[in-house]
Structure 1
Amino acid sequence: MSDVRRLPRPVTEVWDWQRNGLCRGRDSAQFFHPEGERGHARRRREENAKAICAGCPVRRECLRHALAVREPYGIWGGLGESDRHRLQAVAS
């Protein structure tokens, strides 16, 4: 579970970047795996989500947020769960 103490203050200038995300208005199932999803289906869904992130104007802000709150699930800023875990392990 995310550590809510790490979440930034809920003020417009902190959260406003989310309004410009290419994921905004899309089905969140594209970015978060359903229970039991594995193998080819999971890789394909993650590749599609990462492709959306690749062209997103707020990709860096999104990834920065996910790393700051240690977001445990989903594709954030173009990185999946295992990608972020590896990045955080290297940074530690």
Structure 2
Amino acid sequence: MLAKVFPIRLKDGNQAAAEAIVEEFGPRGSAAEEGTLSFRVYRDPATPDYLLFVEHFADQAAYDAHTGSAAYRELIAGRFAELIVEFVEVDHELVVSL
């Protein structure tokens, strides 16, 4: 399993717009992808204009299919990317799962 974590700082005042795009993407993108095991996006109530993506994929090929999908290109690499100040991509390996 491949785990990806993305802390994302948004341009000022774009929290609601970013969340709307992510909510639109979920069913069109991640939920429709066989190799996407989970797609979770968190907000921090104490930090405006910030989102944390936590995603799990069956393997690298599933992640590549995810980022190559039409929904991803339109919504995440397209509209969502315009709202980002910066993000970090962090790969994780699972140690314990309950």
- State the TM bucket, normalised to the shorter chain: 0.3 to 0.5
Higher strand share: 2
TM-score, length basis structure 2:
0.35
Higher relative contact order (CA 8 A, sep 6+): 2
TM-score, length basis structure 1:
0.36
